[in-house]
Amino acid sequence: MQRVKAQLLADLATCLDQLHPGAGAQAALESPKVAAHGDWAITAAMPLAKPLKLPPRAVAEQLIAALTACEGFKAWVEHTEIAGPGFINLRLKPSAKQHVVREVLAQGEAYGLQAPRGERVLVEFVSANPTGPLHVGHGRQAALGDAICNLLQSQGWQVHREFYYNDAGVQIDTLARSTQLRAQGVKPGDPQWPEAAYNGDYIQDIANDFLAKQTVQADDRAFTASGDVNDLDGIRQFAVAYLRHEQDLDLQAFAVRFDQYYLESSLYTSGQVEEAVNAMKASGHTYEQDGALWLRSTDFGDDKDRVMRKSDGGYTYFVPDVAYHLSKWRRGFTKVVNIQGTDHHGTIARVRAGLQAAAKTLSLAVPTDYPGYVLHTMVRVMRGGQEVKISKRAGSYVTLRDLIEWTSKDAVRFFLLSRKPDTEYVFDVDLAVQKNNDNPVYYVQYAHARIGSVLRQGLPEGVQANTALAEVDLSPLDSPAAQALMLELAKYPDMLREAAADVAPHDVTFYLRNLAAAYHSYYDAERILVDNAQVQSARLALVAATAQVLRNGLAMLGVSAPDRM
């Protein structure tokens, strides 16, 4: 129905320009809030009433008169009516709705996708420091990041997936010392065990492999242990490589990939941190106070000034972040999306302020809202009616791998994407393993599997549905249930475009549930495999198109579309 909509929009723009020059640029077709009111609605009469000095309903009457003379409206619109203060409701002909079936079958996986736009975007997500297993919060971030990358790519962006992590600093020192103590036989609860040390069983696993002189291989590094418990630097490097390998396994189990792993340490060794600091100082937006170097971030809208360099000489966390984002800009990524927990909210203003100060000195045209952010809340896990807070393996939190092992990759992805990122989410493990309509991922996947069963019965073995049904007569698809399903299929491209623009993958989960509901309603309303060959072929084409859109939408989320369940 993309061609139908494009033709109607072109007609609407022409008629609006006839009524009031320039008004055609605002041509739009909207979905009525109440389906019974029509298939699409035009709201242009209300804003035109004032410049035309006419009541909105009078404007609507003139617009309808002009539209009904247009070829597109003659071909595709069955009925128009004026409602309320001046809404124009359109009822489409069945042939207009049937057109979407041909579009989906012809375009297949490309349905809803846009052509390359020649623009690049960097999406940074997960970015977990290598100090322990990935927890469920990292899982939410991984699901969000991967789906957002898919959405942006669907709209023609060239997407770069980046994982940034701190491979130095206090946390890594704590990891190294915790591993060394375990290698020396000291364990949590012993008098020598520091309060700040990491307590999870994974620390003992690292110590055991270090003593065994194992070699660990991660996506971005490899290291062979010396086995010497006094080799603290070797323990540090081995522990980081070990946990990066563990994170790689978690991400592989979750089917998430990255184009680049970016090390915080590289910002120091390359001199980029020092350059950023000097640029901020040269901008005139810094000052010394109490032995510390401050950024006057209030000059850029922050609620208070921020310490850059502490009195002990160490930099605060946002300083290397400024250097990192200067690197992103210089690498050509003028659009950046950072996916982080809501606990990072306070860093947004100071990073942007630091970027503006540095960019001023470096003559870089960095926008004030750069980088973009998607912030997500943490996840609570319920199992057996009780909140699960501790993983034996991690010591203090539920890991992503725990969640996948208890349920499935598909369930974890779909569930973690089913709410707005900034909404608190409770992951119900018991619901995620249920095989009924209360489980949203099962409900959607079952719709696809149900169609698979129908197509296997209705088509010869080995025949591709999209090809075999591409040219069938679709005129039998005139029932209310069939038309409702076709209208839902037609919403997919616009939904995809808006979800990408709003970086809102939860919109895809909502859509898929609605599409599955429309299919289940259709299945209950009409038999698909009937004696009349013409009717059966049309109905098979409709459900094959539905299966295709379900597959396409699930793929955006990184969720499988099984043919059998």
pLDDT level of residue 320 (50, 70, 90 thresholds): very high
DSSP 147-172: HHHHHHHHTT-EEEEEEEE--SSHHH
Res 37: pLDDT:
81
pLDDT over 90 at 541, yes or no: yes
Q: Are 464 and 541 in contact (CB under 8 A)?
A: no
pLDDT higher than threshold 80 for residue 374: yes
Compute the distance between CA of residue 190 and CA of residue 395 in angstroms, rounded to an integer. 16
The CATH 3.40.50.620 portion of the chain extends over 125-269+377-429
Residue 67 pLDDT exceeds 80 = yes
Residue 392 has pLDDT above 90, yes or no: no
In this prediction, residue 523 has a pLDDT band, given cuts at 50, 70 and 90, of very high
The average pLDDT across 274-292 equals 96
Structure tokens of 263? Answer: 């090390």
The proportion of the chain whose per-residue pLDDT surpasses 90, expressed as a percent, equals 87
Can you tell me the mean pLDDT for 76-104? Answer: 92
**Residue range(s) of every CATH 1.10.730.10 domain in the chain:** 436-557
Task: Give me the pLDDT at residue 391, please.
Answer: 55
| Residue-wise pLDDT tens digits, 439-478 | 999 999 999 999 999 999 999 988 899 999 999 999 999 9
Q: Summarize pLDDT for 114-136 with one digit per residue, the tens.
A: 999 999 999 999 999 898 889 99
Mean pLDDT value of segment 521-533: 96
SS (H, E, C) 23-75: HHHHCCCECCCCHHHCCEEECCHHHHHHHHCCCHHHHHHHHHHHHCCCHHHHH
Residue span(s) of the chain under CATH 3.30.1360.70 come to 2-92
The CA distance from 148 to 124, in Å, is 11
Quote the pLDDT of residue 398: 86
Query: Mean pLDDT, to the nearest integer, of 241-263?
Result: 93
Q: Under 8 Å CB-to-CB from 210, ≥6 apart: which residues?
A: 179, 183, 225, 226, 227, 234, 235, 238, 239
Dump the DSSP string for 99-151: HHHHHHHHHGGGTT-----S-EEEEE-----TTS--BHHHHHHHHHHHHHHHH
Quickly name the fold that domain 125-269+377-429 has: Rossmann fold (3.40.50)
Tell me, what DSSP letter sits at residue 376? E
512 has a pLDDT exceeding 80: yes
C-alpha 25, offset from chain centre: 30
d(CA 32, CA 80): 13
- Which of 199, 127, 202, 210 has its CA nearest to residue 165? 127
- Fold classification of 436-557 is Isoleucyl-tRNA Synthetase; Domain 1 (1.10.730)
Mean pLDDT of 245-249: 92
Closest of 336, 319, 240 to residue 280, by C-alpha: 319
Class of domain 2-92: alpha beta
Burial 373-395 (b: 16+ CB within 10 A, else e): bbebbebebebeeeebeebebbb
Say what the pLDDT of residue 262 is: 95
Alpha carbon distance 200, 393 (integer Å): 6
Structure pTM?
0.90
Report pLDDT for 189. 92
Task: Say yes or no to pLDDT of 556 above 70.
Answer: yes
User: Three-state SS for 372?
Assistant: strand
As a whole number of angstroms, the distance between CA 190 and CA 342 comes to 35
What 8-state DSSP symbol labels residue 410? Answer: H
The backbone torsions φ and ψ at residue 88, rounded to the nearest 5 degrees and listed phi first, read: -110, 115
Q: What is the mean pLDDT of residues 492-505?
A: 97
